[in-house]
Amino acid sequence: MLNPQLDRRGELIHLLTTEGLPRRHVERLLDVARADAAAGGARPEAAPELPVFLCLPGDASEDRDAFAAAAARLGMLPVPLDPQAGGALAETVRALAPGLLVLRHNQSGAAHCAAAHAAPGLRIVNAGDGRHADPLPALALVQAILETKPDLTSLVVTLVGDVLHSRLARSFIHLLTTLGVPEVRVAAPRTLVPDGLPQLGARACATLEEGLRNAEVIVVLPLGVERISGAQLPSAREYACTHGLTPAALAWANPDALLLPASRLAPGVEVDGDIAASLAPLETRLADLEQHVRLAALRVLAGDSP
């Protein structure tokens, strides 16, 4: 069965998911992102005037602007689509000219659907579909790890928080296993751990201490407001008591453990106030890395990278 992200020669034509993405393509995207960062914007244009269609919901204005900036920096032409265009996805995709389509959709599998209906010459970049996949921020997290811990083959990486609803977590786990990370753990309440976690390549831990013991990288996932004080999570206070990160909890990890926020975290819930106050530089660095990953994805899919 053909991978829908690849052509018959195995070359990347869409970036839909990290699941099944060959290691050489993962490494290529990371290498191109590093090269763009090192060049400081001095690299030549990728594909002048190639349209980059931006189909993101109305509440994603910040990300839409970031993709538009990346396209413009490469000399491409950002073309915002009506946020409602994703409602008739197949028709929208069929009507687009050759170029790149950056798509965010609330339905899992939407990016694969878009790729199935895309005419030759239209490349799809998945900017998040339902709970399924979100490749670019996952690549940025891996890049952040590589900056301080370049040997991934000996790491213990722990994800803390809501893996069940996190497309980023799924994409990140797939990347870690593809790149040879030997142990990926998940520390979360049972109601926030997906079925089939071992098939993803991760191990569920019964307690936060078990998850953090000797961990070398800790990635903290945010809680959705709709999961708090509901059937899946009785209260934010209970979550903070069992899985909130504090200096005492971090003492279970390796002394030089790298702590990475997967998104904006709530002080007193996912992390305590002191830890939250220390995360601003990491959040800034991750945002910078993600922008270089956006540039890399557009370059690679436009055919302008080695």
Q: Where are the domains of the chain?
A: 23-133+290-302, 136-286
Does 23-133+290-302 match 136-286 in CATH topology?
A: yes
Of the candidates 136, 185, 175, 133, the residue with the CA atom closest to the CA atom of residue 152? 175
Structure confidence by residue, pLDDT tens digits, 236-267 = 888 899 999 999 999 999 999 999 999 999 89
CATH dotted code for 136-286: 3.40.50.1370
Pairing of the two strands 183-187 and 203-205: parallel
Q: What is the pTM of this model?
A: 0.95
Q: Which residues of the chain have pLDDT under 50?
A: none
CA-CA distance, 298 to 295, in Å (whole number)?
5
pLDDT at 83: 76
CATH dotted code for 23-133+290-302: 3.40.50.1370
Cα 298 to the center of its chain, rounded Å: 16
Calculate the alpha carbon distances from 150 to 108, 144, 153, 155, 181 in Å. 32, 10, 9, 10, 11
Q: Do the Cβ atoms of 127 and 150 come closer than 8 Å?
A: no
Structure confidence by residue, pLDDT tens digits, 79-135 = 999 877 767 888 999 999 999 999 999 999 999 999 999 999 999 999 999 999 999
Q: Which token pair is 112?
A: 């694969």
